[in-house]
Amino acid sequence: MKFFVDTAEIDQIKELNELGMVDGVTTNPSLIAKSGRDILEVTKEICSIVSGPVSAEVTALKADEMIAEGRKLAKIAPNIAVKVPLTWDGLKACKVLSDEGNMVNVTLCFSANQALLAAKAGATFISPFVGRLDDINLDGLDLIADIRQIYDNYGFKTQILAASIRSVNHMSECAKIGADVATAPASVIKAMANHILTDKGLAGFLADIEKAKIKIL
């Protein structure tokens, strides 16, 4: 499973990228607004750091305007994936932009039917929101499984990009189900390294080293 980091913080992206933990980046206007910088400037810098897809989201709601914004965003760098919402206008924009050879990430997906439409419109990525479904007492992971089954049934090439990831459990479950990508905050990706038994074992190991007065350097 590929890891995309869901942030516009340059330092976080660089740290994970240097460790080989970043296969791409997802951003949105809200994340970039937190940085206080120009959206095009930040997006261009992110594209220069990572070689994988960088999702940049349109702000328009009408298809023609989404297409115009998407074309402008796509000119930033060859690894831009234009992010459009899963609305009827968004699907229209997806079709046009993907037919022009652009990567398109269709976001705000909450049903298997929506994911099926996005695949037929030529989406490169579909972004089902796991955590937001959990918030309303639905199992977001069930949606990932449903989309995986449908796409496999018919050979759709659209990649499942599990989004709204809130926990390390979400990451491992998405991997088991077969999500192609999971996008998560840097804090969640880094937390995957943590385990209480690792901490306990390391504490015992360090105590033995101290007791034996072992030194390597």
Q: What is the pLDDT of residue 215?
A: 84
| DSSP code string of 40-79 | HHHHHHHHHH-SS-EEEE----SHHHHHHHHHHHHTS-TT
pLDDT number for residue 216: 84
Average pLDDT on 161-183 reads 98
pLDDT tens readout for residues 64-98: 999 999 999 999 999 999 999 999 999 999 999 99
Say if residue 44 is exposed, middle or buried (CB neighbours under 10 Å; 0-12, 13-18, 19+): middle
Question: Are 127 and 105 spatial neighbours (Cβ–Cβ below 8 Å)?
Answer: yes
Single pTM value for the model? 0.94
Average pLDDT value over all residues in the chain: 95
Q: Tell me, yes or no, if 83 is annotated catalytic.
A: yes
The mean pLDDT of 33-43, rounded to a whole number, is 85
**Catalytic site residue from 34, 83, 92, 176:** 83
* Residues constituting the chain: 217
Q: Which domains does the chain have, with CATH numbers?
A: 2-212 (3.20.20.70)
pLDDT at res. 24: 98
Mean local confidence (pLDDT), 29-43: 85
